[in-house]
């Protein structure tokens, strides 16, 4: 499944709600590419709903999720991290979290630990870039994420962009 939204500042949490609910009917879905780049009206609530839907995808092997410039905080990141922890079939994860100024070192640590629990994970790509937003993450947060990722024995490919 591929869904691409670029700079859709009219898409809100409510607009995303119907899609989130439909995910529970797609249990056999193996690959999902969701791009919400620049959809600045999607907040923690929208990401929480999306995360609830993702948790139901038992057969998911590929998750490509672009959340660039969304208005999410720790709450949204925690919901996403908890969903990823449950996706045991994942072989490839690509998360684009550019310009998410409100994520914290703790979010990075939790995200890394979520990846660590995925026994079939082979490929991991993470994008963090803050061209104009102040960061709430520090060098220590990225270092902890790197340390956790380095300990994942199943990984064959890693791409990190800071």
Helix (H, G, I), strand (E, B) or coil at 43: strand
> What mean pLDDT is predicted for residues 35-45?
91
Domain count along the chain: 1
Q: Does pLDDT of 136 surpass 80?
A: no
- pLDDT at position 156: 94
Q: Does pLDDT of 132 surpass 60?
A: no
Q: Does pLDDT of 150 surpass 80?
A: yes
Domain region containing 56: 2-161
Write out pLDDT tens, residues 6-25: 888 888 999 888 888 888 78
Residue 21 sits in a domain of what CATH number? 3.80.10.10
Q: Is 150 exposed, middle or buried (0-12, 13-18, 19+ CB in 10 A)?
A: exposed
- pLDDT at position 91: 96
């Amino acid at each position: 499944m591929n869904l691409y939204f670029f700079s859709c500042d009219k898409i809100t949490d409510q607009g995303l709600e119907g899609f989130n609910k439909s995910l529970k009917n797609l249990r056999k879905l193996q690959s999902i590419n969701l791009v919400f780049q620049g959809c600045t009206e999607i907040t923690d609530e929208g990401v929480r709903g999306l995360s609830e839907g993702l948790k139901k995808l038992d057969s998911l092997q590929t998750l490509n999720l672009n959340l660039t410039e969304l208005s999410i905080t720790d709450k949204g990141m925690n919901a996403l991290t908890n969903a990823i922890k449950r996706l045991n079939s994942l072989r490839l994860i690509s998360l684009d979290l550019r310009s998410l100024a409100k994520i914290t070192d703790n979010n990075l640590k939790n995200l890394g630990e979520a990846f660590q629990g995925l026994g079939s994970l082979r490929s991991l790509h993470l994008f963090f870039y803050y061209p104009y937003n102040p960061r709430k993450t520090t060098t220590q947060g990225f270092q902890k994420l790197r340390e956790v990722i380095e300990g994942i024995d199943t990984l064959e490919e890693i791409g990190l962009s800071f």
